[in-house]
Amino acid sequence: MAQVELDVPSALVINVPATGKEEAQELLSDPALTPFLEESLATFDPRLLSASAFARVEDNDALRCTAEILRAKGERLLDHGGT
């Protein structure tokens, strides 16, 4: 598969290192983070899936990205030995 390089402004880049649990928690606890943005973050990286975003999906109250949030939850379960 060919890789495509995108010219993305650095202000739009979210870098979550492999050991970035603290950084992800800091990002998810930002008071400026709206539910819409919180759900959107999970589409970038499964480590950015918050419990409250997943709870909204379970309660059918998700604002958007339901399929991506479920995919992120599945990826996290597989990463931690779930089936």
Task: Output the pTM of the full model.
Answer: 0.67
State what percent of residues in the chain have pLDDT above 70.
75
pLDDT, tens digit, 9 for 90 and up, residues 29-72: 888 889 999 999 988 888 899 999 999 999 999 888 899 999 99
DSSP per-residue codes, 36-80? HHHHHHTTT-GGG--HHHHHHHHTT--SS-HHHHHHHHHHHHHHT
Q: Distance between CA 34 and CA 38 in Å, rounded?
A: 6
Q: Distance between CA 7 and CA 59 in Å, rounded?
A: 38
pLDDT, tens digit, 9 for 90 and up, residues 64-82: 889 999 999 999 889 887 6
Q: What type of residue sits at position 26? A: E
